A = this chain, B = another copy of it.
C-alpha cells in the first residue's frame, strides 16, 4: 500500500465496544500501514483505552461525542435523533470526503439507513444491498442481498446482479465472474415472479455479464457461481443457516473426537489439520459485510464481533479502497447507467 488512507470508525458500535474496537484497530496494524483512524465516541472512555494501546493512539484522533445509536433503536429514531451519534458522525466523515471509508459494528438497520441518507446511492441503483464473502469449495463467492431488502422485485435483483458482478471483478479479482440467482430449482418455471422475471431480464439483456442461471441452496457451498443474487429475506436466512450448520458440525465433531481415548489421541495428532480447517471456515474471516450501491465505502462488522473480527472488517474496507473500488465505482457510473437503461428497455 503506497497511498495514505483515513478511515472513520464508529467506536461505540457493537456489543463489546469500545474496548473491542481499539483492540481490533491494534490487530489490524499488524498488516496495515499508512492508515489513520478517526474515532467517533466518548472521549472519557476512549482516551484511557488509547493510553493502554499507544500503537493505536499514534494513528488515531478522537472525535468526541456521547450520543450512541443502540441496537434496540428503531431506524427512524436513529435517523431523526441520532445526528450527533458516533455512527452518524463517522458516516458524515465519508460524506464530506475526510475519510475514505467507515466501519461500524452497530445497529445494522440504522447504519444502512443513515449511510443511504448521507452517502446516497449510485445512479441507477434504487436500493443498496448488503453483501458478504461466502467460503466455498472453490474459494470465496460474494452473496447479496443479506437482509437490507426484505421484499425485492425483479429490478432490484438485476441491480444486485450488476453490483455483485462489479464487486467480483474489482475486489475478488475474477476476470469474468458468473452470476446465479438463488431459487428452489434450476428449471425456468421454478420459483416466484421476481426471480423468474429477473432471470429473463438477465438472459435477454445485452449486459456484458456472465449469467449462469438459477442455482439451488447447495450450490452456494459448492461454489457453482462467483456471485449469488437473492432477496434480503432469503439471503439472510441462507447465510445464517449456513453459519448454524457450521456450528452444529463443529459441535458434532468435538463430541465425536473426544468420545474415546483412541480418538482423543488421534484428534491430538490431527490437530494441525483441524486448526487449518477451522481457519478456513472461521466466521471472523467473513465478518465484514459490505454495503454495495452506496456512493462511499461502508463496512458493517458483526454486532457480537471480537477484535479479530473487527480487524478483518477494517481490512475489507482497506481492500475495497486500495483496489480503487471508489474510483471504479465512478468509472462504473456510466456503465451502470447504460446497463440500467438496457435493463429498463428489456423489462419495460
Which A residues fall within an 8 A CB radius of B?
Answer: 74, 135-137, 147, 150-151, 182-184, 189, 191-192, 216-222, 230, 232-234, 236-249, 251-253, 255-260, 262-263, 265-274, 276-277, 280-281
Contacts and interface: CB of A to CB of B under 8 A. Distances in A.
Most B CB contacts (10 A, CB to CB) among A137, A243, A257, A268 go to A137
Most B CB contacts (10 A, CB to CB) among A191, A217, A259 go to A217
Contacts of A244: 217-222, 242
Given A249-B281, A268-B266, A242 B242 contact: yes
Nearest to A192: B150
B256 A274 contact: yes
Contacts of A241: 217-218, 220-221, 238, 241-242, 245
Most B CB contacts (10 A, CB to CB) among A220, A243, A257, A263 go to A263
B151 A248 contact: no
Given A237-B238, A238-B241, A241-B220, A269 B276 contact: no
A162 B97 CA distance: 55
A218 B233 contact: no
A263 B273 contact: yes
Given A237-B182, A237-B234, A247 B273 contact: no
Nearest to A270: B266
